[in-house]
Amino acid sequence: MTTQADVAPAAVEAAAALADALVDAWGSWGPNMTPDARQVAFISDRSGVPQVYIQEIVLDGQQPRARHIALSDDPVTQVRWAADSGWLTVEVATDGGVRTAVWVVRPDGTDARRVAGDADTHAELGPWTRSGHRFVVTFPGATEGAPTCCYLADPATGRLDPLAEGDLIHVLDVSLEERFIVVRDGERGQQFVVVVDRLTDEHLSVLPPGATGSTDVALIRPAPVEHSGPVYVYLASDVGLPRRQLIGVPFGPNGWRGEPRTLAARDDAELEFVDADDAGLLLLLVWNVAGRSELELMDTTTGGRTPITGLPGLVAADPVLSRDGSSVVLGVQGPTRPRELWHLDTTTHAWTRVTSAPPLPRQRLVVPRLETFPGRDGLPLTGWLYRAPGHLKEPGPVALWLHGGPEAQERPTFAAHHQALAAAGITVFAPNIRGSAGFGREFVHADDLTGRYAAFADVLAAADHLVATGVADSDRIAVTGRSYGGYLTLASLAFSPGVFAAGVDICGMSDLVTFYRDSEPWIAAAAVSKYGHPERDRALLEDVSPLASANLIDVPLLVVHGEHDTNVPIGEAQQIVAALRALDRPVEYLELPGEGHDYRRADSRKRLTRTVLRFLTAALDGRRD
């Protein structure tokens, strides 16, 4: 006779094997095209570590093999192709950590060298100039209060010429003749954009100051013919608006700025990405509709918008419109589809696959269902439910999965972790609690500062929903998450004991005071608007820090952290583990070597998923009848 104890280890091993296979189903992302739209440079982890590849784009036949551009063994985080096709710029995670370095390399792989950043200096890759002769490199302030400095870099010589300086600035775009630059500044959720006239050193706000909201995406192009200004700035912004919309503002010399105008808006969606051709005649818009993606093309001459149907997956990312407006290349993925690159012909609207992933296991993967449920104060919330196939009709063990940010968003993407847990018989529910992006300006700011307490309550409301709908047994719910989600995991266990049977904290903060003290200065400075100021709001930070209430955590806890994480420093994990061990509480610790805040190496992701599977099965499945 086969007992439950005999079956469970086999089920866990089968789920772990599935997770390994899904991690090995490498993806491709972050595309950038040559001006003639015949080649694409992109990032792929087909070797187990994200690296740069180049591939021809063939629209009427089999796609050719991608060619690897070797730089270093460190993970690549970004690649951009110069407007003149002569160079690639590449951002690399130094030693796999949070700090990055900037490299240049010829498309044939020659002349590769690092031009900025090392283990001690963080350098970020910015855009190329429209002429393709120089590119932007940014050095965030390395000490508290130090300014961020941006430079124009020459790829041939490595020379850095000062471009802009400010608190938390990023140069988003540079006009064709390099006279105007678009600069973003500000703390998280309060970012604003200015246009700098480099000839006169004038700084012009794009939107009127004073309104709440943030602008994350902006670009500059020649103005449409009906506007008197020579250039036009397009923004994805929710400043003073209920949702992120497309705003257009004309600019000209001598400090002239026209009135901002809403060019595209939707009541059911937020504008996530915008790109434009070189002439400023065609725009690509990508809308976020409760986590799913929808595309439109917009004619700036007429204002007409054309929806694009047939997107080969639920979620689109990293869209690039070719310089002549003829093509789009973007990443596409879904719950049963790894990240692939697809090409869209903007005239025929035909889709062509550019890259593909290895075959997936024959095992059927779970397609999540979008659930709606109320917060404890009545605020409407949503979440994606990955129902374990073995528990479709009766309650079972459930893992709440809380995303990072908090301004990130849980979406129906390709998630090996969620699929493996479901295969092991553990349902996954991934809610978008208040503070998540994608649901409007008020929602994303609803957890700021003292709103943190309401976010804690949303986690409990998610557990309430699972029990009320018969998905979960009330004594078999685990709370898990990464980054901010890891912090919420610790907070839920410490501030609401008795609700959850176990927890998994992946790179989460355990004490917001020590987080501010030890995090990278530019990360800490940007977080003040979300969590509070380390001095002015110290009482709040102490009150919402789980470490001080570690004595109330009495269920099994797994803590995971990357060796080189300087975003949420590794001390955040070490101190909560030490506190629980001193109390003789059940806590496990997994440290991933060669990883920072994001786990980019396939071996690390496999080890992580196997560890979580074993831990949660022991904590939850062992309670089955």
Backbone angles phi, psi at 520, to 5 degrees: -55, 135
What is the pairing mode between strands 76-81 and 88-93?
antiparallel
Residue 130 domain flag? no
Residue 197 domain flag? no
**Which CATH number characterizes residue 497's domain?**
3.40.50.1820
Extract the tokens encoding 5.
């104890």
Strands (E), 200-345: 202-205, 215-222, 231-237, 245-251, 261-264, 270-276, 282-289, 292-299, 305-308, 315-321, 327-334, 337-345
Strand partners, 558: 504, 588
Residue 558 domain flag? yes
Instruction: State mean pLDDT over 120-144.
Output: 93
Backbone angles phi, psi at 89, to 5 degrees: -110, 140
Q: Which residue has the tokens 């496999």?
A: 606
Q: How far apart are CA 552 and CA 580, in angstroms?
A: 10
Q: What is the residue range of 614's domain?
A: 4-21+367-623
pLDDT band at 228 (very low <50, low <70, confident <90, very high): low
Residue 462 domain flag? yes
Q: What was the pLDDT predicted at 254? A: 83
Residue 277 domain flag? no
Average pLDDT of the chain is 94
Residue 146 domain flag? no
Looking at the structure of the chain, the number of domains it has is 1
pLDDT tens sequence across 343-353: 999 999 999 99
Residue 16 domain flag? yes
Task: Name the amino acid, one letter, at 8.
Answer: A
Q: What was the pLDDT predicted at 390? A: 81
pLDDT tens sequence across 454-470: 999 999 999 999 999 99
Q: How far apart are CA 472 and CA 466, in angstroms?
A: 5
Instruction: State mean pLDDT over 521-529.
Output: 96
Residue 395 domain flag? yes
pLDDT tens sequence across 601-610: 999 999 999 9
4 has a pLDDT exceeding 80: no
Instruction: State mean pLDDT over 175-198.
Output: 92
Q: Does the predicted model carry a pTM greater than 0.85?
A: yes
pLDDT tens sequence across 557-582: 999 999 999 999 999 999 999 999 99
pLDDT tens sequence across 294-344: 999 999 999 999 999 999 999 999 999 999 999 999 999 999 999 999 999
